Structures are given as C-alpha cells and as structure tokens.
Structure 1
Amino acid sequence: MNYREWLGEAARERLRMQLNGEQLDLFYRYYHLLVEGNKKMNLTAITDEKEVFVKHFFDSLTLASHLSFAEVDSLIDVGTGAGFPGIPLKIAYPHLRLVLLDSLNKRVTFMKESVAELGLRGVECVHGRAEEAARKPMFRESFDVATARAVARLNVLAEYCLPFVRVGGRFVALKGADVEEEVEQARPGVRTLGGKAPDSISLSLPEQMGERHLIVVTKERPTPKAYPRKAGTPARNPLHSS
C-alpha cells in the first residue's frame, strides 16, 4: 500500500482535513528522515512504514479533530522526542509558530536537521527542560496550545505544560487507552495551575492499531509564579490535593 496516499484519505475521511500533494510528500520525506536518524540514535521503537504513518503521523494529527487549528497561531510541543506531534501538525498547518522542546540535545539536533531538510519555517528547536523553559519570559504563558505525547503521567505533565499556555489557551495531552485514574489524580493539580477540569476524548486509530485519548485542559487563570517548581521536583513530587 502507498501510505502517502493512505494518510491523505484517512485525514480527509476521519479528521476532515485536506492534505495536498506537497504536504503528503513532506510526510513521506519525514518518514525516511526518521528511519535514517533512528540508525544513529534511539528516536522511536516504531520504524515499520505502516505503523509510523498510523501510530505517529495520524495519531499526531488527531488534535485537529477537536481543536480548530485555523484559530491556533502558536504551539509548543513539550518533550517532543522525534518531533511528535509538533512536526506533523506543522506540515498540516504551515501557519503555526512552532516550538519543539526536548531535554536531550541529540534529539534537538535531529529535529533541527529535519526541519531544515523539510523546509519548514517558523519552527524553533529548543534544548532544555520544561521546568526551566517555562520560566523564560519569551515562552511563559505565550502559546495558544501546549501539547505533549507519552512524556509523563498527567499530574506531572500539567506542571510541565500549563505554564506555557496563555489564559484562554489549551493544554492537550495525547494518551493511550486507560486514562481515567490518571485524569482523576491530575484534577487538583490542574486547578492549582490555572486550568479547568480536564476533558477526556476517546478515539480509535485506523487499521485497528489501538485506542487513544486526548486530554484537553482549557486555561482559565494565570499559573501562579511558584510553578513550575525546579527541575525534577514535579516528577518526584506531583501536585495533589493535600
């Protein structure tokens, strides 16, 4: 099967998204960059073409099924790894101002090379930890959307991401099948950080490749200056009700 064409059809039918030939070519080139980069460092355990197009590319684009990206100007992808979901969203929505943040410099180097190879403009690849980057005035509460995929549990992830989001913007976590307990544990911390109660949206990947959830938090108040706490603290001591 030609997965370049498959992605175009799946995006149109399941996400109501139109991807033109140039955009589909970029996805195919990105796939090859990912496979080549994976030979030098551990970017992803998934390298099969079908699985990359479904579990990485389509999965990343699912945000657009529940957010109107025509109204989103800026997005930060926290702990982006090999560039998911940020780069697929940038390919689909070229107008986005995108920041790709990761704590491992080798991954940031791969992203910089990939962004240049794909000719993507308006993308900044940043080496750093979320706890430190979110305290920089250029980043703090300056994004319409902060997103993260498979980085940490939601009560930790909220402290990494919500400080980046402007009031009225959204934090979106891409999660797997079982999220109920995680969402409940995160509720008090989300409130502390200025977010409304999380909404959990379930969806299925094509080709019977699994169940997913989007956890969407709308920011209704500024994040208190005390957050995020210093590097390592959110993971060791997540926010809770006590």
Structure 2
Amino acid sequence: MTARTALQTQLEQGIDALGLRLPADAVPRLLDYLALLERWNAAYNLTAVRDPAQMVTRHLLDALAIFPYVQGDTLADLGTGPGLPGIPIAIAAPGRQVLLVDSNGKKVRFLREAIRALKLEGVRAVQSRVEDVEGQFDCITARAFASLADMLAWGGHLLAPQGIWLAMKGKTPDDELPGVPPAFAVRAIHALQVPGLEASERHLVVLGRAGC
C-alpha cells in the first residue's frame, strides 16, 4: 500500500464516521491539498503538525467536522493559517464564495498557490488584519485564533445580520462566554466527534447577532 493510499483510506473512513457525503472528487482534491501543505511546510513552517496521518486527523477531518453547520452563499475564514477550515470546506461544497484571511505573508502566499493549483473557484486569499477586512458574510469560521471576545471585537462587523459565526475551540470555553459582546449571542455549543481525537478535544461555538 502506498503512502497516499493509506492516507486515502484514513480520510475516507473518517468522512464516513462523520456521516458526510461529499462530491466524488473531494477526497483526491483534499489529498492534493495535504500534499501541497506538506511540501510547503518543509520550507515555510505553516503548521506544527508534520506527520501526514496526523494532518488528516488534525487538519482535514477537524475542518470537515464543522461542515454540517456551515450555511449561506458566502464564507469568511478568519486567521485561516494554511487554509483551515476554509479550504477543506470549499472542496467539500464547491460554489460558495470563500474569503481566506490571514496577516502572515508566507501563509497567504501558500494559500494563493493552493487556490491556483487546486483550481478552487470562488475562493480568494487576502493578507490583512481581521479588523481591516470589509464586507459581510453569511458564515464566518475561526479556528482557535483568538478568544471569543477578541474575535468578535475584531471581526464582528463582517457577520451578516442573519449570519452565523462558527468558532472552533478545544475544550468548552466556559471562561470565554461572559466576554461575548452584548451585540452577539451564543446560539449553541456542540461537542465535535473528530475521528482519531478524544471526544473532549473539540467544540464548536455557534454565535449570531443578538435579536436576529
């Protein structure tokens, strides 16, 4: 069994465990993204995770675990780093307009190469601080890039009136909940079952505008 075949089996089993049905070309495209990330990571240190099998678990399956909660036609992924969860979500559901935001120039160069190499239509990458980004989005994703209070203070203006904010966290962020600005409300907190990770390691905080 080749290394890619082993990763494909791991990824397909994880997708099945998550109960997802993805486009026929999603698995090879996700593996192409992983190969590109692994190659660039050797020179640019884009992620601390080095082992490809761990990348499948901690990057691809971790990102896909929130896929059932993603909604709307436009998505902004704030503090995306090497494109997580934005790129896996864009591969899983083509057609949505996706903006990948990061302030790190090396990471944004990788993102632009990934968009080109993977032919990700409707996906853009911008090097910017979150507070300087303009526009409004139906869905915003953020993967452990700041506290709930800070991410909403910096990027709350980007959330459309009826939009949802999906904040990916490790353990339940009970200490952060009192800091949620009054203009926003916590709609739900979901424990995510990421195949290969302990159940307590991943949670999703769903937020929206208060009164909407």
CA distance in 2, matches of 1:144, 1:220: 15
Structure 1-normalised TM-score?
A: 0.79
Q: Is 1:201 paired with 2:190? A: yes
Counterparts of 1:8-19 in structure 2, within 5 Å, are 8-14=12-18, 16-19=19-22
Q: What displacement does 1:220 show? A: 4.0
Check whether the contact 1:183–1:198 (CA below 8 A) recurs between aligned residues. Answer: no
Aligned to 1:116: 116
CA distance in 1, matches of 2:41, 2:88: 18
CA distance in 1, matches of 2:45, 2:211: 38
Q: What displacement does 1:178 show? A: 4.0
Aligned to 2:64: 61
- Measured against aligned partners, the alpha-carbon deviations of 1:177-223 in whole angstroms (never above 9, x if no partner) come to 14111223x23x1x2xx32235221123212356201011022469x
Q: Is 1:23 paired with 2:26? A: yes
Distance verdict in 2 for CA 1:47–1:21, change over 3 Å:
farther
Aligned to 2:11: 7
* Larger relative contact order (Cα-Cα within 8 Å, sequence gap ≥ 6): 2
Check whether the contact 1:55–1:209 (CA below 8 A) recurs between aligned residues. Answer: no
Gaps of 5+ in 1: 223-242
- State the identity as a percent: 30
In the comparison of the two structures, how many residue pairs are matched?
207
Moved over 3 A (4+): none
Structure 2-normalised TM-score?
A: 0.90
Counterparts of 1:179-198 in structure 2, within 5 Å, are 179-184=173-178, 186-187=179-180, 189=181, 191=182, 194-198=183-187
Counterparts of 1:28-107 in structure 2, within 5 Å, are 28-65=31-68, 67=69, 69=70, 71-107=71-107
Q: Is 1:174 paired with 2:168? A: yes
